[in-house]
Amino acid sequence: MSETTEITNEILEALGIDNDYRTESLELLEKGESRYLRDLKLNLTSTLTSEHLSTKECALIGLSSAINNNNKVLTQFFTRYAEEQGATTAETAEATGCASLLASNNIFYRFRHFTQKEKYSQIPARIRMQIMMKPVTGKEFFELMSLAISAINGCEMCVNAHEDSLIKMGTTEERIFDAVRIASLVTSAGKIIF
């Protein structure tokens, strides 16, 4: 067995996937004996822990990111991981809801930002956002998940608004940075494993 096949199998085992699983992308990396497979493995592993986030928070950010990216394999993995870290069904549901709500918000506010027309800022959004009022994960953490999803979706206005809100709540920049780092790595892994 080649080293790249061993690394591929280690990645699959860590995710709880059968060793026969392959996507076209994964096959290309494995057949080409790409050193990137080792990076992929280490990057995936680094989404599970943080010096500034609890393991449950890492798992919920990973879950929300995987759902946002419509990635079935990583959604299943991060759901299991979140549950193992003590996340309740209400918390995993909230990570799911966050991804869905931010998908609409990010499109809507990106549109407002892109057009820069005052008229669009005066028209009510009419997007229901009650989940943000009393989140079961807490206001600060919901903002953190919202920021991570907004970063994935590329909404500059949303990223700035959530980051500003978090700073005003007393959230450290290291905590914010790690949330976005996890979201970026989950998104990256989802290009290979889905």
Give tens-digit pLDDT for 98-115: 999 999 999 999 999 999
Give tens-digit pLDDT for 12-23: 999 999 999 999
> For position 177, what pLDDT does the model report?
98
CA-CA distance, 123 to 191, in Å (whole number)? 37
Would you say residue 148 has pLDDT above 90?
Answer: yes
Nearest to 40 by CA among 192, 144, 194: 192
Domain extents in the chain: 1-46, 50-189
Maximum pairwise Cα distance, the chain:
63
Instruction: Tell me how crowded residue 193 is: count the other CB atoms within 10 A of its CB.
Output: 21
Give mean pLDDT, residues 91-101: 98
Residue 50, classed as helix, strand or coil, is coil
CA-CA distance, 101 to 153, in Å (whole number)? 12
CA-CA distance, 165 to 193, in Å (whole number)? 33
DSSP per position, 78-128: HHHHHHHTT--HHHHHHHHHHHHHHHHHHHHHHHHHHH--HHHHHS-----
Active-site residue list = 155, 158
Instruction: Give me the chain's average pLDDT, please.
Output: 97
pTM for the structure as a whole: 0.95
72-84 vs 173-189: helix crossing angle, rounded to 10: 140
Give tens-digit pLDDT for 29-62: 999 999 999 999 999 999 999 999 999 999 999 9
> For position 181, what pLDDT does the model report?
98
Percentage above 70 pLDDT, the chain: 100
> For position 32, what pLDDT does the model report?
97
Architecture of domain 50-189: Up-down Bundle (1.20)
Would you say residue 1 has pLDDT above 90?
Answer: no
